[in-house]
Amino acid sequence: MAFKLTVDGRAHEIEIVRRRPHLVVSIDGRDHEVTVAGGFEEGRQAMEVAGLVVHFVRAPCGDRQIIRLGGRNFETGLIDPRSEVAGVGGDQDHVKAPMPGAVVSIHKSVGEAVKRGETLVTIESMKLQMALAAPRDGRVAEFLRGEGEKVEKDEAIVRLETVVREG
């Protein structure tokens, strides 16, 4: 039986090969014998893979789990096969807030043509101002947030449209 897991957004498959006397799983064709499975709970844990102790820290976080292992944090999730959907490509039409904050100033107006890299808005978060630039050439279709308004992380602030040459 195989499960699909994500690690930092990337999908991987882990298959149960054997259950007794020890669990054996297969990941990308590599088999691992889990000699001691360790605790299920959050906090510092130890498991034994092929007889070697592996220390890690586990924290459930909603339907995800954060695993700290080898001096690094990983965000992991279990993909429910029933709800699996195709991924979405890069969005070049929206300029999104990379962090939560507020719009400080808007440098363009609706309908204005912009070049890739031109500053469209300045936002501010945690005492830090940041200029957000156009991801491509185009024209400002609309501002979804105005000056002084709050924005959440990854919220779209500007929508761009493609300039269609007439004639």
Partner 1 sequence: MTRESSAGRAPPSTKAIPFRKILIANRGEIVCRVARTLRELGIASVAVYHHVEMNARHVRIADEAIEITGETPVAAHLDGKQIVEAALAVGADAIHPGYGFLSENAGFAKMVADAGLAFIGPSADVIALMGDKISARDFARRHGVPVAPSVVPAADLAGFAAEAEKIGFPLVIKATAGGGGKGMSVVRSAAGLDEAARIAASEAKRYFGDGRIYAEVYVERPRHIEVQILGDGEGNVVHLLERECSVQRRFQKIIEEAPAANLPFGLRDAVCQAAVQLAAAAKYKNAGTVEFILGADGRFFFLEMNTRLQVEHPVTEMITGFDLVRAQIEIAAGLGLPFAQDQVAARGSAIECRICAENPERDFMPETGTIQYLGVPEAPFLRFESALDAGQKITADFDPMLAKLVVHGADRNEAIERAIVALGELAILGVRTNADYLARVLDHPALRSGALHTGFVLEHSPSLAAGEPDAATLDKVLIAAALGFREFRDQVFDVPEPYASMGRWRN
Question: Which residues of the chain form contacts with partner 1 (CB under 8 A)?
Answer: 1-3, 5, 7, 12, 14-20, 23, 25-28, 30, 32, 34, 37-38, 40, 42-45, 47, 49, 54, 56-61, 65-74, 76, 78, 98-101, 104-105, 119, 122, 124-129, 131, 153
- Token pair of 100, please? 């939560």
Decide whether 25 or 144 has the Cβ nearer to partner 1.
25
User: Which amino acid does the sequence have at 111?
Assistant: G
Whole-angstrom distance, CA of residue 16 vs CA of residue 70: 24
Decide whether 99 or 141 has the Cβ nearer to partner 1.
99
DSSP-assigned letters across all residues of 40-77: -SSEEEEEEETTEEEEEEEEEETTEEEEE-SS-EEEEE
Q: Please state the closest distance from residue 111 (CB atom) to partner 1, in A.
A: 23
Q: Please state the closest distance from residue 136 (CB atom) to partner 1, in A.
A: 20
Decide whether 13 or 161 has the Cβ nearer to partner 1.
13
Element housing 140 (H / E): strand 138-143
